[in-house]
């Protein structure tokens, strides 16, 4: 077991949730340190939660190796990133590449120096856009649906598996994540690093600070709560584009399972998502938000096509299910209700950060 855990990006949505859970539920006494440069707006709101759970906070930047000195983790959970698929298109990719790629290098160097294990949070965005756009799908009244007969390997009506082809452009963000995965695997081969890679679909839950370019589920619930207008962007403005949602509660359960079974699972690359049962189109998300908030907001169709967008992504998690006794269990309604409850309880402090992108 690991008695010292470092969570990079530990004040972010995923990092803070994991750090708090690991500090509170570790089976052995564990010192958890959260390192974050607080670049993400709203991350500072997680600092009291971290302190309350006994997580040590270190203000630091993974672009700067000197910010990692003095740390002696036995396990690093890498949650630090610029997580937007649109990052870098509107100007320079410098921050993205320095944080997501050079930052991985610095994190790996820390792991090499301290012999730490690594859990790397990668993304479904490692899969190329043109390939995903070429998939056969049917248009149903409220959503697009993947068909079983597909032109490519590694995909079925159950979603995209790890054997899906990797050739082609995947967004600058996706490139930094795939390149980081390759670096992790080289460190494993060259230096004996023990690592697990999780290619996560869309992750959602309380304490996600949404922006217009990232965190769509929290954004959708917040817009309904604060009665702000929304837009269905792309795909003819139909709102039928589909993603699978992995609740932060289910992801936390997965990471605990992986820590407890690290020796058996190390070396694995896993698609981790909500799968077909956890999937929803924007239209279906709207229906759930209306049900939970009792509010109806205007939603304008927009014919604008967003760069790097795809009509449908669903994680096929059967590889993970076959080796780990884990499957997502939180329902979509329970997930959205937990976000709604979080906003309702913290309405005053959250209003400005949650409505900034609306
Ligand atoms: N949220 C999702 O839907 C999703 C899906 C797939 C993968 N991921 C991955 O999960 C991880 C966590 O994402 P998240 O949703 O919590 O994002 P987030 O933006 O909420 O958290 C990332 C944290 O990293 C910090 N950070 C950014 N640059 C940094 C730097 N140079 N040095 C130190 N800290 C830095 C930010 O301040 C932020 O607190 C990321 O690696 C992301 O790529 C997220």
DSSP 90: S
Tell which atom from ligand 1 comes closest to the C-alpha of 103.
31
Overall domain count for the chain? 1
CB distance 86 to 14 below 8 Å: no
Q: How many CB atoms lie within 10 A of CB 130?
A: 11
Inter-CA distances, 302 with 130, 220, 295, Å: 22, 16, 22
Longest C-alpha distance within the chain, in Å?
56
Residue 27 pLDDT > 80 = no
Range of the domain at 89: 4-355
For residue range 213-236, what is the model confidence (pLDDT) as tens digits?
999 999 999 999 999 999 999 999
Calculate the alpha carbon distances from 48 to 108, 338, 349 in Å.
29, 20, 13
For all residues of the chain together, what is the average pLDDT? 97
Assigned token pair, 14: 């995923």
Which residue CA neighbors atom 27 of ligand 1 most closely? 81
C-alpha dist (Å) from residue 345 to 19, 109, 124, 226, 342: 22, 41, 32, 13, 5
The pLDDT of residue 303 is 86
Using a 6 Å cutoff on CB, does residue 83 contact ligand 1?
Answer: yes
Nearest CA, atom 25, ligand 1:
9
The structure tokens listed for 97 are 């590449």
pTM here is 0.98
Residue from 88, 89, 93, 103 nearest 12 by CA:
103
Which pLDDT does position 26 carry in this prediction?
Answer: 80
Q: How confident is the model at residue 101 (pLDDT cuts 50, 70, 90)?
A: very high
Could you give the 3-state DSSP secondary structure of residue 76? strand
pLDDT in tens, 230-275: 999 999 999 999 999 999 999 999 999 999 999 999 999 999 999 9
Q: What pLDDT score does 325 carry?
A: 84
Do the beta carbons of residue 324 and residue 257 sit within 8 Å? yes
Closest residue CA from atom 30 of ligand 1: 61
Alpha carbon distance 134, 316 (integer Å): 18
Q: What was the pLDDT predicted at 140?
A: 98
pLDDT at 143: 98
For residues 82 and 175, is the Cβ–Cβ distance under 8 A? Answer: no
Residue from 76, 80, 285 whose mutation best tests the ligand 1 pocket (most atoms within 8 A of CB): 80
CA distance 210 to 339: 12
Ligand 1 atom nearest to 122, measured from its CA: 7
- What CATH number has the domain bearing residue 65? 3.40.50.720
Would you say the CB of residue 121 lies under 6 angstroms from ligand 1? yes
Quick one: pLDDT at residue 163? 98
What do you get for the CA distance between the two ends of the chain, in Å?
Answer: 43
Tens digits of per-residue pLDDT, 125-176?
A: 999 999 999 999 999 999 999 999 999 999 999 999 999 999 999 999 999 9
């Amino acid at each position: 077991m690991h008695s010292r855990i470092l969570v990079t990006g530990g004040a972010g949505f995923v990092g803070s949730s994991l750090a708090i859970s690991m500090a509170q539920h570790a089976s052995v006494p564990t010192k958890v340190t959260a390192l974050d440069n607080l670049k993400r707006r709203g991350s500072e709101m997680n600092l009291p939660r971290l302190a309350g759970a006994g997580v040590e906070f270190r203000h630091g930047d993974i672009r700067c190796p000197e910010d990692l000195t003095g740390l002696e983790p036995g396990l690093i959970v890498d949650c630090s990133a610029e997580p937007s698929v649109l990052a870098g298109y509107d100007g320079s990719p410098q921050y993205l590449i320095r944080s997501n790629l050079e930052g991985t290098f610095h994190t790996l160097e820390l792991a090499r120096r301290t012999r730490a294990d690594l859990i790397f949070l990668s993304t479904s965005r490692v899969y190329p856009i043109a390939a995903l756009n070429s998939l056969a799908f049917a248009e149903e009244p409220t959503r697009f649906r993947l068909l079983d007969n597909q032109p490519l390997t590694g995909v079925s009506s159950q979603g995209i598996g790890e054997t899906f082809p990797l050739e082609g452009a995947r967004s600058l963000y996706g490139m930094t994540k795939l390149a980081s995965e390759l670096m992790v695997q080289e460190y494993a081969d060259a230096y004996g690093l023990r690592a697990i890679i999780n290619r996560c679909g869309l992750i959602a839950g309380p304490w996600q600070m949404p922006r217009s370019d990232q965190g769509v589920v929290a954004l959708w619930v917040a817009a309904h709560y604060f009665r702000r207008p929304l837009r269905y962007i792309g795909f003819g403005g139909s709102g039928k584009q589909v993603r699978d949602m992995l609740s932060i509660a289910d992801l936390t359960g997965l990471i605990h399972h992986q820590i407890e079974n690290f020796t058996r699972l190390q070396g694995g690359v896993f698609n981790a998502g909500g799968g077909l049962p956890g999937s929803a189109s924007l239209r279906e998300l709207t229906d759930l938000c209306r049900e939970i908030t009792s509010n109806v907001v205007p939603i304008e169709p927009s014919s604008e096509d967003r760069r790097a967008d795809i009509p449908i992504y669903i994680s096929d998690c059967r590889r993970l299910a076959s080796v780990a006794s884990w499957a997502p269990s939180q329902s979509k309604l329970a997930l959205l209700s937990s976000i709604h409850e979080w906003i309702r309880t913290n309405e005053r402090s959250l209003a400005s950060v949650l409505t900034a992108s609306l």
